[in-house]
Structure 1
Amino acid sequence: MTENINLNNCEIEPIHIPGQIQSHGFLIAIDSSCIIKFHSENISEYLDNLPDNLLGRLINDIEPLIGANEPPDFINQLISFGRSNKSFDQTNPFSTDLQGTPFYLVINESGPLYLLEFEPVESNLKTDLQRMIGRSVSEMLADKDLHNLLKNSASQVKNIIEYDRVMIYRFAEDGHGEVVAESKNPELEPWLGLHYPASDIPKQARELYKLNLTRLIANVHTTPSKIVTTKQLSEDPLDLTHSQLRAVSPIHIQYLKNMGVESSFSISLLYKNELWGLIACHNYTPRFIDYKARDSAKLIGQILSSALEFRQDEANKYLQDKYNTNVNALSKNMLKNNSIEEALTLRSINIMHITDATGAVLIYENNITKVGNTPNEEQIQQLLGWVKENVDEPFYYTNELPYHYAEADAYKRVASGIMILTLSAELSEYIIWFKPEHLELVTWAGNPEKPVEINADGSVKISPRASFEAWVQEVSGKSKPWTDEEIKSVARLRAEVSYAITQKAGAIRMLNERLKQAYEELDTFSFTISHDLKNPLSTIKGYAQMLSRSSNLELRTQNVLTKIDSKVDRMNSMINEVLEYSRIGRVDLDPVEIDVATIIDDHIRDLKLVYSADHLKVNIKNTPPVMGDPTMISQVFANLLSNAVKYSLPSGAPEITIDAKDDESEVVYMIKDNGVGIDIKQLPRVFELFKRMDNVQDIEGTGVGLAIVKRIIEKHNGKVWVDSRLGEGSTFYVAFKK
């Protein structure tokens, strides 16, 4: 089997269920009834006088051996306390005495089971880690420059934990990593600036680093201890996702041995709950750090993560303000100027200035208008042919166009990066931005394309790198990546351009005839729904309710009938919302001044009742009146406020803010929540009919509400857009004309 070993094994290796633990401690897994379902083989090395067979016994049977000085049933009490607090943070670690030796007991969940992990209290660290952290934090954060911040952090962590080498390791978007800061013993070769392929720390390992913020490998030369159970107790292996003692992948152990590393310790660095990088610590002799010391070290990672987030948010805010200012300028120009084309391309602020692109092109009304450095017209025409064949989304971007479209290699110095905004696929109208090639010399720690070595005897040895000597690769055909702020800026421009085109289109564009036909079809569709669908649904609901009244039905049948009744109600709701969506286009407006404050107060009061959300925090600031149809405007706020409440409830501390800006031309309302947020790639499609985001499929909804909002606001000659980030909440903006 050895001849099949390669680094693809790393990507599929089930590292969360290794079936064994590191041998510097032992493990017991119990169920909610305190019955032992699993334990590590090495338990007898730590405890004398154990019963012959622990599996299937109550943990109470051996409590005197693992806590002689503890009260009876203390483990069950610890678990009950952790369950009531929904976390074991307050009890971990629990100091106990194993037959005269001090040990820590660490409790974590594993599905329906509880992991009881025991490890020694003593550590190789001679310093008081908690005391040193306080002194080190101020030195870590002393410099506002990101490079110096990382350099200081590596130095302070090395002083604290006394490992031979401490690195700050940052992950790129494709999963490969780079050493961006380092502190090391003088005799060691520097690794600063070296890159490591994504296969070194594969995807499933990176996911575990997000869940476990520290990871210790005490000694690569020890033999791990197997976890035992029986088929009667469990047919599935024990999930060690949250385990402290989880054994290390044999591939990774070999990798460390190849580097001469005998112990490693890592601290996760997170940005917006995603893995930014690691504080990676290597020692060239075995080294054990106890749980409390590791937990204190975790604080370093959290402080550095917060500092990174703050500095990155500062930079993002600067870009966001710059791009928003330029989008606003383009929006005003489009509404003032008779020509959309001139407004977007011929002013001092043009489409190129809402991103960091060096060139852009507008393809509109059969004209191609270029700004900045772009491919020539023939190349653009060929590129458009590729776009029509391969790009079916309204929004597309890549920073490596030649890898997707080989002909682009001829002009990669101008356009290795491309972002495409589709204005109309049918009319072949686009805005395209270009970024030039960013030539980069990447220094790898050995050739990343050489995954294995052949030994003299012909056997295969896993060796991601043989010598770890620097191997330089020139990366071409790629631009600097498109940032989140650039993507959001283009998404915002899309809404502004669509609005401007709608305002100026009139009878000269094909859209009017198609809209007229669509409205006629929608009327017919609405009539069909109301007469041909609602009546059968009522009949189905009636039969289901009639059958459910029978007293001799099995429970399963009753449940099925209840589900039928529920699904009928949901379908009725969807039909009513589609009818409402179609009705909006046929209603004539008679605008009046609307007291928005009263509408908001009424909806918030109702929503708190509907969602049992007394703990909801609502910040209501400026609420100026607007002009419009009272019923429709009430629907707009009902949908937006309902979404804000519904999608912020999972945060545990839901909070929404309502505010408005009032100037001479428009009133812009803002509704902000701290909910689940929207993936930035899905922002351009958020107002489409029946479009629901991937991360809210388990939350009740039909995907019609925001489409209704957009249609009502457009009927009022207004605008609606959204700014959001996954996991951080959303902010919806609604602009009303005065």
Structure 2
Amino acid sequence: MNFRETSSPEVDLSNCDREPIHMLGRVQRFGYLVAMSMDWIIQHVSANVEDVFGQGPDDLLGMPLAELLPASAIHTIRGRLQLLSPNEGSERAFSIDLLEDGRHFDLAVHISDSSIVIELEVADDASMHTINPGSLIKAMIARIQRCSTNEALFNECVRQLKAATGFDRVMLYRFADGGSGSVVAEALNRGLEPFHGLNYPASDIPRQARRLYLKNRIRIISNVDAVDVDVVPPTSPTGAPLDLSLSVTRAVSPIHIEYLKNMGVCASFSISIVIDDKLWGLFALHHYSPRHLAMEMRSTLDLFGEIISLVIEGRLAKQMRRIEEEARDAHDRVVGRLVATSPTMEELIDFADDFRELIPCDGFAVWAKDVVRTVGRCPFPDEMPGISRFLNRAAASRVYATDDLSSVYPKAQEFTDRAAGLLAIPISRSPRDYLIFFRKEIVETVSWAGRPDDKPVEYGPNGPRLTPRKSFETWQETVRGKSTPWSLADMRAAEALRVSILEVLLRFNEEAERQQQRATQNQELLIAELNHRVRNILSLMRALVVQSRAGAKTVDEFAKIIGGRIQALARAHDQITNDHYQAQSLRAIIQTEIEAYIGHKVSRVHLDGPPILVDAKAFSTLALVFHEMVTNSAKYGGLSDSRGSIDIRWRIDEHEACEILWRESDGPPVQPPTRRGFGSTIIERSIPHDLGGEVSVDYQLSGVRARFLLPPQVFWLDEEKLDAHNHGKESDQVNGQTADIVEDTALSALSGKSGLVVEDNMIISLDAEQILLDQGASRVLTAMNVSEARRIIENEAIHVALLDVNLGSETSFALVPALQEKGIPFVFVTGYGEKLDLPETVNAGVEAIKKPFAADQLIEALERAIARSGG
């Protein structure tokens, strides 16, 4: 917005918050930038790239990166990209001979929307040769962990950072909830004015800057007087500027440059402290002359910041746990007394001392049924109705708290000396009743680094804004009308108390009445269900008696038939009721009927099939069907003599139905029945009628053949027993056969095979290892160099291999002869792109996939290699 409006717009702090500081289109003088599309075509460069590549922006834009950088550099960049997630930080490499001309650069790579951004800095090898980053961090953390208090920890952190970086001033700046903050620790050179204890307004670090501190946790400004370098072109063909949120060389906002110059600062460096995904604070390092830290040192301090974030988070969490444990103990004591006495709403005032121990306050009130009862320092009774009406506008089921009541309820200015802060717990909906805690006014003097409102309006490239303060002399402000803030622990204690009062006490009578109503309803439902079941049982018994009469010639025979069928139903009922009316095994249903009727011939019945559980509602039907089948076989079929047998098998067919096949053999010749009795009707019609399945019975001369089909909704596989069945442990008689289960899921070609991953980057190696294991590989061995890989090939059974071409000082081509001699298929992985030349010794058809690779791309290449080898 590069314009002046004719009318004077209202200018406030939000003007600063709207400055697009992540899209300034410039980098700092010490950096060089190259941005590419995802197919590695150069889209943007910084205007100073000729210093590195000998070619200007006009020569580089639109050029494939492979024409600018040697293969080794592209391999390094691809390897770093493999470790990246889009829009999440950057990966770095240090002291790289990027152009293979003896010049060394530090390199940072990140992904910005649909672009790959590479940033270069001339490597300062001398600065890190004398420092081991790991040893530096270890020494710093060791000293910090010895600190017993948070204050000591903060002071030690700034001292360690000053010693490690040499900056003139190092501060720990902690943010408050509203965005403002204060300096809680400081280490500085002699002669400098201390800032410790000073407060800074939220506008000094606008919202969009705080968001960038979350995304990019370190920030270097080497020289505020240096002229920034433009990114060319400033926008893409679609008109969008390059987003430099994750850039390590991003230029600095002119407003922030002005702010630093007003403070006399020439260089700065910041390290974010992030706790629970929120910006808790910053280490702010200031220098009063130009100062630059090498990328490797900055990365080391980035790691230091992450570790310190975890240390502080752990200490704060421990402190919060202690406070919550004390509050929980007090809460339990209060609730115990409440439960023991069951007070009315009005009688809650008798527990004022307990409530005030739980939530510290200066006054406590119970507002119930438009009457107030108070203890301690509170507003006067005639002021409480107004407070109640104010609270009625808040949410009905939430705790409300403020430490500045007069700012939201102006009438509170009349009693600020008695109640400046308020916390209210709603304990009913209609009418609105409350427990109210009051805190008195605390007059506080706040020291600011300059007057926060001392910001004149100026017009800048982004419209009217408040300029940075030009004075940072300590300015003190007296704050009135506010109480001690309500802490997170206070709010949690209040919410727990609200739940306890509502659920344990105030709803007791309502719950008792509801329980009584529910008991009455359950009794009525139980009686109705009992009547229903009794009528069904009586109807079933009547049908069995009537239908069984026609098939009996004598009373004894009739009694035997009807008794057998009733016993079959009883056995089914016992099976399901013994297990609380749960599904039971199909095998158990059949076996129960066999053992009940022909116990001495049970060895002549062969059962085989997967472990299937049958829904309880299908039990009675299946029990009657198999009772009739066993009865008929014992009378007329395979079990009626001493030689016959029955083979009963079941499987899941292609339609996910359960097919049960009944085969009788070696018995007497079978004749089809001349008369269709009730038993035949049960066999042929029960399953289709009751379960929606199918039945066919074929009376062949050699023995009865029957097929029963159960629909999917009445059964399911017992997964816990499926593996045992597949190993032959489920069959009653081991005959070398397994259940005929149709599996739709195709197995990967890697299933059950051993793999070898040769990769010198541990994280990429672990990633590839997990991909192979997820595809069913039995084990995956990893190697970081040729000698280790050759030992594995010689001594281990390997079925497939994945080879990273570049292994640092060697290549994996040396492994090709050993792999081809053993017939082990393999696939290359490379960061060199399409220019990879394979040795002539490599068999035709061997593939090479590019980094960064996707899981499906890797698996498909390995499966093709296995297929080519005949594996």
How far apart are the structure 2 equivalents of 1:124 and 1:72? 22
How far apart are the structure 2 equivalents of 1:123 and 1:378? 76
Q: 1:39 aligns with which of 45, 51, 58?
A: 45
Corresponding residue of 2:69: 63
1:232 deviates by 6.4
User: Structure 1 residues 125 and 201 mapped into 2: Cα distance closer, same or farther (>3 Å)?
Assistant: farther
User: Structure 1 residues 113 and 433 mapped into 2: Cα distance closer, same or farther (>3 Å)?
Assistant: same
Letter in 1 for 2:79: L
How far apart are the structure 2 equivalents of 1:410 and 1:239? 52
How far apart are the structure 1 equivalents of 2:179 and 2:54? 46
Q: Are 1:221 and 2:225 an aligned pair?
A: yes
CA contact (8 A) 1:125 1:162 kept: no
The 3-state SS of whatever aligns with 2:468 is coil
User: Structure 1 residues 233 and 464 mapped into 2: Cα distance closer, same or farther (>3 Å)?
Assistant: closer
1:91 deviates by 5.3
Bigger Cα displacement from structure 2, 344-353 vs 287-296: 344-353
How far apart are the structure 2 equivalents of 1:451 and 1:411? 34
How far apart are the structure 1 equivalents of 2:86 and 2:208? 29
User: Structure 1 residues 336 and 230 mapped into 2: Cα distance closer, same or farther (>3 Å)?
Assistant: closer
User: Structure 1 residues 437 and 232 mapped into 2: Cα distance closer, same or farther (>3 Å)?
Assistant: closer
How far apart are the structure 2 equivalents of 1:123 and 1:473? 49
| CA deviation map 1:658-686 (0-9, x unaligned) | xxxxxxxxxxxxxxxxxxxxxxxxxxxxx
CA contact (8 A) 1:333 1:343 kept: no
Q: 1:353 aligns with which of 353, 357, 374?
A: 357
The 3-state SS of whatever aligns with 1:53 is helix
Corresponding residue of 2:113: 111
Q: Are 1:290 and 2:291 an aligned pair?
A: no
Letter in 1 for 2:67: D
How far apart are the structure 1 equivalents of 2:183 and 2:248? 26
Letter in 1 for 2:115: L
> Based on CA coordinates, which of the two structures has the bigger radius of gyration?
2
TM-score, scaled to structure 2: 0.54
User: Structure 1 residues 72 and 26 mapped into 2: Cα distance closer, same or farther (>3 Å)?
Assistant: closer
User: Structure 1 residues 149 and 75 mapped into 2: Cα distance closer, same or farther (>3 Å)?
Assistant: closer
Q: Are 1:418 and 2:422 an aligned pair?
A: yes
User: Structure 1 residues 438 and 304 mapped into 2: Cα distance closer, same or farther (>3 Å)?
Assistant: farther
CA contact (8 A) 1:34 1:76 kept: no
CA contact (8 A) 2:271 2:301 kept: yes
The 3-state SS of whatever aligns with 1:317 is helix
How far apart are the structure 2 equivalents of 1:331 and 1:199? 45
Corresponding residue of 2:449: 445
The 3-state SS of whatever aligns with 2:60 is coil
Q: Are 1:97 and 2:103 an aligned pair?
A: no
Corresponding residue of 1:305: 309
User: Structure 1 residues 94 and 423 mapped into 2: Cα distance closer, same or farther (>3 Å)?
Assistant: farther
Corresponding residue of 1:590: none
How far apart are the structure 2 equivalents of 1:450 and 1:424? 48
1:43 deviates by 1.3
Q: Are 1:186 and 2:190 an aligned pair?
A: yes
| Aligned Cα root-mean-square deviation (Å) | 3.5
Unmatched 5+ stretches in structure 1 = 65-69, 520-592, 595-605, 610-651, 653-738
How far apart are the structure 2 equivalents of 1:169 and 1:111? 31
How far apart are the structure 2 equivalents of 1:408 and 1:285? 52
Corresponding residue of 2:488: 484
1:82 deviates by 2.7
Q: How does 1:503-542 map to 2 (within 5 A)?
A: 503-506=507-510
CA contact (8 A) 2:87 2:112 kept: no
CA contact (8 A) 1:330 1:349 kept: no
Q: How does 1:45-84 map to 2 (within 5 A)?
A: 45-50=51-56, 52-64=58-70, 71=72, 73-74=74-75, 77-78=78-79, 81-82=82-83
How far apart are the structure 2 equivalents of 1:47 and 1:160? 33
User: Structure 1 residues 340 and 207 mapped into 2: Cα distance closer, same or farther (>3 Å)?
Assistant: farther
Q: How does 1:50-449 map to 2 (within 5 A)?
A: 50=56, 52-64=58-70, 71=72, 73-74=74-75, 77-78=78-79, 81-82=82-83, 92-93=93-94, 95-98=96-99, 99-122=101-124, 128=131, 130=133, 131-229=135-233, 233-341=237-345, 344-347=348-351, 350-389=354-393, 394-449=398-453
How far apart are the structure 1 equivalents of 2:232 and 2:162? 38
1:412 deviates by 2.2
How far apart are the structure 2 equivalents of 1:85 and 1:94? 25
| CA deviation map 1:191-221 (0-9, x unaligned) | 1111111000011111111121211111111
1:245 deviates by 1.0
Q: Are 1:30 and 2:36 an aligned pair?
A: yes
| CA deviation map 1:239-274 (0-9, x unaligned) | 111111111111001000111101000111122221
How far apart are the structure 2 equivalents of 1:230 and 1:402? 50
| CA deviation map 1:319-373 (0-9, x unaligned) | 1012112222222222221314477432475222222333222222443232332
Letter in 1 for 2:311: A
Q: How does 1:553-564 map to 2 (within 5 A)?
A: none
Unmatched 5+ stretches in structure 2 = 522-578, 581-715, 720-769, 771-871
The 3-state SS of whatever aligns with 1:278 is strand
CA contact (8 A) 1:42 1:225 kept: yes
CA contact (8 A) 2:352 2:375 kept: no
Letter in 2 for 1:137: I
Q: 1:21 aligns with which of 24, 27, 42?
A: 27
1:60 deviates by 1.1
The 3-state SS of whatever aligns with 2:281 is strand
Q: Are 1:496 and 2:496 an aligned pair?
A: no
Letter in 2 for 1:23: R
How far apart are the structure 1 equivalents of 2:259 and 2:126? 24
| CA deviation map 1:614-658 (0-9, x unaligned) | xxxxxxxxxxxxxxxxxxxxxxxxxxxxxxxxxxxxxx9xxxxxx
How far apart are the structure 1 equivalents of 2:132 and 2:448? 34
The 3-state SS of whatever aligns with 1:438 is coil
1:506 deviates by 4.5
User: Structure 1 residues 208 and 469 mapped into 2: Cα distance closer, same or farther (>3 Å)?
Assistant: same
User: Structure 1 residues 366 and 215 mapped into 2: Cα distance closer, same or farther (>3 Å)?
Assistant: same
Corresponding residue of 1:615: none
Identity over aligned pairs, percent: 30
1:23 deviates by 1.7
How far apart are the structure 2 equivalents of 1:498 and 1:375? 26
| CA deviation map 1:401-455 (0-9, x unaligned) | 1111111122223322222222224202112222222222111111110112789
How far apart are the structure 2 equivalents of 1:87 and 1:200? 26
How far apart are the structure 2 equivalents of 1:39 and 1:158? 35
Letter in 1 for 2:415: Y
User: Structure 1 residues 453 and 202 mapped into 2: Cα distance closer, same or farther (>3 Å)?
Assistant: closer
